[in-house]
Amino acid sequence: MMQPFSRYSDRYLDVPRLTCDIGVPLAEQPKIGHNRWHPEIPPAVTVDPGGEVILEAAAYDDYQIHDNGGLDELRRVDLSRMHPLTGPVYVNGARPGDVLVAEVLGVEPLSGIAFSNILPDTPGLLSETFPEGYRSTWYARGAIAESPEVPGVRIPAQPHAGTMGVAPSFELMRLWDKRERPLYADGRAFAPDPQNALLRGLGVEAARVAARTQPPRENGGNMDINTLGPGATVYFPVFVDGALLSLGDHHLSAADGECSFNAMEMDGRSWLRLHVIKDGMARHRITTPIVRPAPLVAQLGAARYLGFTGFCFRGKEQGYQDASFAAQEAVHRAVDYLMGLGYSGEQAYVILSVAPVKIRISCIVTIPNPTVTLYLPIDIFDRDIMPS
Amino acid sequence: MMQPFSRYSDRYLDVPRLTCDIGVPLAEQPKIGHNRWHPEIPPAVTVDPGGEVILEAAAYDDYQIHDNGGLDELRRVDLSRMHPLTGPVYVNGARPGDVLVAEVLGVEPLSGIAFSNILPDTPGLLSETFPEGYRSTWYARGAIAESPEVPGVRIPAQPHAGTMGVAPSFELMRLWDKRERPLYADGRAFAPDPQNALLRGLGVEAARVAARTQPPRENGGNMDINTLGPGATVYFPVFVDGALLSLGDHHLSAADGECSFNAMEMDGRSWLRLHVIKDGMARHRITTPIVRPAPLVAQLGAARYLGFTGFCFRGKEQGYQDASFAAQEAVHRAVDYLMGLGYSGEQAYVILSVAPVKIRISCIVTIPNPTVTLYLPIDIFDRDIMPS
Amino acid sequence: MMQPFSRYSDRYLDVPRLTCDIGVPLAEQPKIGHNRWHPEIPPAVTVDPGGEVILEAAAYDDYQIHDNGGLDELRRVDLSRMHPLTGPVYVNGARPGDVLVAEVLGVEPLSGIAFSNILPDTPGLLSETFPEGYRSTWYARGAIAESPEVPGVRIPAQPHAGTMGVAPSFELMRLWDKRERPLYADGRAFAPDPQNALLRGLGVEAARVAARTQPPRENGGNMDINTLGPGATVYFPVFVDGALLSLGDHHLSAADGECSFNAMEMDGRSWLRLHVIKDGMARHRITTPIVRPAPLVAQLGAARYLGFTGFCFRGKEQGYQDASFAAQEAVHRAVDYLMGLGYSGEQAYVILSVAPVKIRISCIVTIPNPTVTLYLPIDIFDRDIMPS
Amino acid sequence: MMQPFSRYSDRYLDVPRLTCDIGVPLAEQPKIGHNRWHPEIPPAVTVDPGGEVILEAAAYDDYQIHDNGGLDELRRVDLSRMHPLTGPVYVNGARPGDVLVAEVLGVEPLSGIAFSNILPDTPGLLSETFPEGYRSTWYARGAIAESPEVPGVRIPAQPHAGTMGVAPSFELMRLWDKRERPLYADGRAFAPDPQNALLRGLGVEAARVAARTQPPRENGGNMDINTLGPGATVYFPVFVDGALLSLGDHHLSAADGECSFNAMEMDGRSWLRLHVIKDGMARHRITTPIVRPAPLVAQLGAARYLGFTGFCFRGKEQGYQDASFAAQEAVHRAVDYLMGLGYSGEQAYVILSVAPVKIRISCIVTIPNPTVTLYLPIDIFDRDIMPS
């Protein structure tokens, strides 16, 4: 299964690889990837079961954001260029009904920089609170990430691909369109859009129906699960021959919820080993991806979190069993608390988007208020943040 | 601060204690507690800051459920007797605007039994799927819990009080009523109800306005946070003189979400140490409880979970940014998977309610579908449950 | 396998139990135990495979140390009364060559007090440094232990039995004597001693040859493994019919090494479930106990330790591959460091004996100096102890 | 403090770096390092406090071992070429009496291969048991390491530098010689040896007195502490101006004890940030290095270890308080157990040298037998290894 390395050579040489040219938009290097879901995107690489592949991808913005850009640049980000995904990978022998097993062997940043911005007019949880936008740059210093914009905080690097998915069947793609269509009009879902669509040679007809990559769906996609770092395994249902796996949207770190719409975004490289479980969908009753989280995590200690509770009310406003509302409230409580420590609202919001925060639904059956608890790791701060 | 124990005596003797008579409904031992929130419930015990107290309470059912009862009994459970809470504890010196710090020193079962039932017509996530009801009994064998109804599973005991809260002010109680009133009519919230109300001597007028204990609110209450075991700390905003802390609804173990409406319910004993942070609400910007989770947890290993994804769609049905919907779907995926292993739906549902399951909101900004991941610990099973 | 509890009764009633009268030396309650190892000690209780038993035992001192005793009392402790063990338990069907599986279901203190003393003239690692002796009392406050003598420190309670073992065969007992005899003369091992020997009715001839309980040996015994708390499993080789398991020497917490000769010693209760693996010694090549550690541990976080290195030299003195020497040096380095923080030497020594310290042999093949690293948990202190 | 990266460039460009040419012995690239400790080795690079540096080094063998070499090659390894260390780094402002703080930001393999061999005639714990030697090659596949010679095992990569140290003063170097001299004659310590000594230009006189790098000492050096991966911090006492830090002997993974004399050895790269604590030796009473372990560790779960006990006896042979003897016995017990599962002795020995094994001194005061417990992680095996 393993190829022979030599101690006397550089590593990775034997693994098929799709290489991303740093700084070059996907439109100018279309051979490595695509930015829509469609059953017939031509494979960029083929591997056998048990084989490995290395996939490099630009960050979610497709190089629209520059080192020295300002807030204006953020407002001009064209979301129709999201996400530049690398692939698809055709896995020999994978057939609809199988399960594709993707072992994540490694994830690395491509350059030394990541970023977490507040973009106006995106679906961030507190978008109305921070309408101006905000930029923060994060420097990858090995195991840690630091930002001059957010001093006093060190985030342990836990790189992972935010988006990883397989191709839908035509039937599934049509179901998605049918399901989401009522939401297109008022911007609550992204409609198919041939503008800026890149499908590795498929024509405009395909582009008109290809699914946008923003929401996660049955095929996985933009799940943003921050436990999928090196050592994790993902089990995908297979909908088309070859499975057609693609990935991108790497993060250097991400909080549960990714509340600001940005995790710690970066250009990245994922190294996968792929297997096929024949007939796995029926045998294991899998209809959406299931995951085995990475064993390598920053041990910040169970007691070393501070938890903020959120319920689905705000002042006189009352929701009903609304965990999203409750999560938003928990984020508000944590922002408030951090502002009490001297952080600006924007800084607090960024911290809650990039730190290894856990957002857990503690209880969801206590009508009308569920409890959502946001656990903030204490040890990322260079001082004691506990109440005293 | 600490009282002198003697090696030659039983322990705990020096700590003020409210003792629950096992098997006796709260109506027959009204001196130890109450089952509504109200600002003027007379204190059952008084302690100084830094002092300790031991509070015993019956399980949430107030002894309506018996060892040998059947499904009928479950249908007859009168929720107006929920929750028998023990207290309130008056903490000298606590004033509105302060923060009450409750250190959880210990939590123990009162008897050797706990239970997790599926009650018809309660707000469980899958109530419609399991309309018949179901009973499971769990035996506390020291560090583990086992049930003859759910063989092949061992749950590590992680006892905690599901309900812990302070008294609301009159103003806050009125806000609650105003906020929840629109939901009373169709049963989406529990209206105040003098029937079965117990308020330690307060009359029927108080009973008519006293708040029900079902939902968590600004005062904490039925938060069902399963990390509040021995060693945890809870910081409560204080709304009335003395803070008036009460607790009950002990669990031997609970899953995030408590999806079936029952965790592993038990009669229990909590041992607390209480402190006051003067003016803590403003100083730390605390308006709902914040928590520091318990350091003693069952180390089941980060890699030793299997994660099930849920999004806010189901077949052709589409939600919008609905984390509750997504959580429900993740529970469905896990139930399906466990049924594939041979468990009945009811068994699976119970496992997902009592095991140390984590339900995390992985991403909530990917319109229209958030990702909720339900992490099921692998090691509670006596066989390998991974896909293969 | 499980006995029926009732929710309406006290717990544990169905489990066979050997009860220790608090404050009563073993000589006055000989029915529950013994203080020597011998193949023919009459069983105190019999259980079937799969059955459970609760064993209570006095602390290692057999009530020679009193709440208000002074340093004099410590000097008078008669080690020939060590250890008051409860049992033996005869397990039906266990035969020599089998493996006895002891699941630790629960461990609890009998009273609210534990103690950690420095006894003069015992084999503590730094006995010569602290010749005067020292007393510290630890109060069990649920999940934590505190001592007025060692302020500023909170130790998470992690109760376990320091001594747990099975009876030796006659052949094995004779081997022990032969092996240790050369060390008796100068006090480097404890010779058999009928003085104060208690063997549940066996006569003086047995007492003359019965093995002392101080060292751990093939049968387990005084292994002082601090990971054997609730949820742990121990696999013992079986040397006699019925296995004849006994235990005692409970600790509320213990450091690796137990360097002062005292962990946090207490009267305690262990609840076990016992199984037999037929012919397990040969099948699994087990000749000394193997263990599966407890899943419930205080999560203090991997990064939240401060590690002190020790090697086998001291000034001009040089050892050779001596891990004991290196461990002693690591203890010295940690004592020094803690004294720099303001603790007395005795306080530091006690902390390093009772806290959840880990002493790891990092490397043992770097002649002449192995590396031993003592990891001190940072979070037991109420202030920041890191270098700055 | 941080240098500006650009998202549009390769990373690390701004950090001073000493680059190792893969496959080239240190004698042929003397500018990057040395293989003896001496106070006057000329610095290879200089940094300011707060500055960073990247140091690449060949594995401990200095390229004497080749991909396709046989057992003969192992016998010819010349230990006088150990260890090729990269450095020294001169830290501006560091003076004797200060403490040098080395933050480990990152550690990576240079190539895709690592190896763990059994070398005849080296101080491995079981050298006499395996006199023939043995070779195993380990392939670094991102987060995991696999070896065709040891099938069924996956080791999580936890890269770290086995050797990291500062220069001794002349006085300290002389003390070492005096201390170890009695051991030179019979090979229990390595005498200074100008043969193959490389000191970056220092002449033969320096080479005659320069200390060998094999044992760890006051300056750190070959401590082989496997918790010093990315995120760890080491605090070194400073003995000469500039501190003169050097490192090498990288491991892809290492067991506590490194019992076979080889961990998973590799050519590697360490990225450090360096600080100085003025007068730190006296202020913090530091005379040997202290460490803060890495927060990123493979979470294999506390319960997911199998522990093997060792005491200081073997059959009829009896030691006295000898933790090294006990550790050796624990290794023997684990080798026996693994052989019972079908592994060869050599395979078992290698597993116990490279896996994230913990060797803990459980108790050291129970004369004459201390307890050493070797904890073997269960999850590295692809099948269940528990007794049954």
Confidence of residue C124 (pLDDT cuts 50, 70, 90): confident
Question: Is pLDDT larger for residue B65 or for residue A365?
Answer: B65
Q: List chain D residues with CB under 8 Å of A146.
A: 2
Q: Inter-chain contact B123–A257, Cβ cutoff 8 Å? A: no
Dihedral sign, Cα of residue D22, residue D24, residue D27, residue D28: negative
Query: A109: cis peptide before it, omega within 30°?
Result: no
CB burial string C308-325: b at 16+ within 10 A, e below = bbbbbbeeeebbbbbbbb
For chain B, list the contacting chains (3+ Cβ pairs, <8 Å): A, C, D
Confirm or reject contact between C310 and chain D (CB < 8 A): yes
Q: Which residue of C has its CA nearest to B140?
A: C11
Q: Inter-chain contact C366–D327, Cβ cutoff 8 Å? A: no
Q: List chain B residues with CB under 8 Å of C146.
A: 2
Instruction: Output the CA–CA distances (angstroms, integers) from residue A335 to A146, A239, A307, A328, C153, in the order listed.
Output: 20, 42, 12, 10, 32
For chain A, list the contacting chains (3+ Cβ pairs, <8 Å): B, C, D
- Provide the shortest C-alpha distance from residue C122 to chain D (in Å): 8
Interface of B with A in 254-293 (CB under 8 A): 256-261, 277, 280, 283-293
- Provide the shortest C-alpha distance from residue B243 to chain D (in Å): 39
CA–CA distance, A142 with A156 (Å, rounded to integer): 9
Average pLDDT over residues A277-283: 95
State both tokens at B335: 């139930």
- Provide the shortest C-alpha distance from residue B304 to chain D (in Å): 8
Q: Residue C178 phi/psi, 5° resolution? A: -60, -40
CA D133 to chain centre: 20
Q: Are B55 and B43 in contact (CB under 8 A)?
A: no
Q: Inter-chain contact B11–C109, Cβ cutoff 8 Å? A: yes
ipTM of the complex: 0.89
State both tokens at C63: 């009530």
Q: Which residue of B has its CA nearest to A336?
A: B285
**Domain C302-380: which topology?**
Endonuclease I-creI (3.10.28)
Average pLDDT over residues D276-292: 93
Instruction: State pTM to two decimals.
Output: 0.91
Confidence of residue C134 (pLDDT cuts 50, 70, 90): very high
CATH of domain C17-292: 2.60.120.580
**Type of residue found at C155:** I
Of B212, B216, B219, the residue nearest B288 (C-alpha): B219
Residue ranges, comma separated, of all CATH 3.10.28 domains in chain C are: 302-380
Residue A224's pLDDT is what?
93
Confirm or reject contact between C79 and chain D (CB < 8 A): no
Instruction: Output the CA–CA distances (angstroms, integers) from residue C158 to A267, B259, C85, C107, C253, in the order listed.
Output: 45, 31, 20, 9, 5
Confirm or reject contact between C77 and chain B (CB < 8 A): no
Average pLDDT over residues B195-208: 96
Q: Inter-chain contact C112–B300, Cβ cutoff 8 Å? A: no
Q: Inter-chain contact A178–B235, Cβ cutoff 8 Å? A: no
C226-264: pLDDT as tens digits: 889 988 899 999 999 999 999 999 999 999 998 999 999
For chain C, list the contacting chains (3+ Cβ pairs, <8 Å): A, B, D
Query: pLDDT over 70 for what percent of chain C?
Result: 95
Write down the mean pLDDT value for chain B: 91
* Whether pLDDT at A11 is above 60: no
Of D300, D213, D209, D210, the residue nearest D249 (C-alpha): D213
Interface of C with D in 126-185 (CB under 8 A): 162, 175, 178-180, 182-183
Interface of D with C in 313-342 (CB under 8 A): 313, 316-318, 320-324, 327, 329, 333, 336-337, 339-340
* Whether pLDDT at D21 is above 50: yes
Of D8, D115, D252, C301, the residue nearest A106 (C-alpha): D252
Confidence of residue D30 (pLDDT cuts 50, 70, 90): very high
Tally of CA atoms within 13 A in the half-sphere of B33 that contains its CB: 34
Confidence of residue B69 (pLDDT cuts 50, 70, 90): confident
Q: Which residue of A has its CA nearest to D233?
A: A143
Residue ranges, comma separated, of all CATH 2.60.120.580 domains in chain D are: 17-292
Q: Inter-chain contact B303–D302, Cβ cutoff 8 Å? A: no
Q: Are D37 and D263 in contact (CB under 8 A)?
A: no
Q: List chain C residues with CB under 8 Å of A302.
A: 299
Q: Inter-chain contact A327–B323, Cβ cutoff 8 Å? A: yes
Q: List chain C residues with CB under 8 Å of A303.
A: 298-301, 379
Confidence of residue C297 (pLDDT cuts 50, 70, 90): low
* Whether pLDDT at D4 is above 80: no
Q: Inter-chain contact A5–D104, Cβ cutoff 8 Å? A: no
Write down the mean pLDDT value for chain D: 91
Q: Are B196 and B35 in contact (CB under 8 A)?
A: yes
Which residue from B6, B105, B141 is facing C144, i.e. has the nearest CB? Answer: B105
Confirm or reject contact between C216 and chain D (CB < 8 A): yes
CA–CA distance, A374 with B370 (Å, rounded to integer): 16
CA–CA distance, B235 with B290 (Å, rounded to integer): 5
Q: List chain D residues with CB under 8 Å of A154.
A: none
Confirm or reject contact between B303 and chain D (CB < 8 A): yes
C-beta neighbour count of C148 within 10 angstroms: 12
Q: List chain B residues with CB under 8 Å of C9.
A: 22, 111-112
Confirm or reject contact between C213 and chain D (CB < 8 A): no
* Whether pLDDT at D53 is above 70: yes
State both tokens at A275: 């297997």
- Provide the shortest C-alpha distance from residue B384 to chain D (in Å): 9
Q: Inter-chain contact D322–C322, Cβ cutoff 8 Å? A: yes
Q: List chain B residues with CB under 8 Å of A323.
A: 322-324, 327, 361
Q: Inter-chain contact D327–C188, Cβ cutoff 8 Å? A: no
Average pLDDT over residues C346-366: 89
Query: pLDDT over 90 for what percent of chain B?
Result: 71
Strands B45-47, B85-91: pairing is parallel
C149-207: pLDDT as tens digits: 999 888 888 899 999 999 999 999 999 999 999 999 999 999 999 999 999 999 999 99
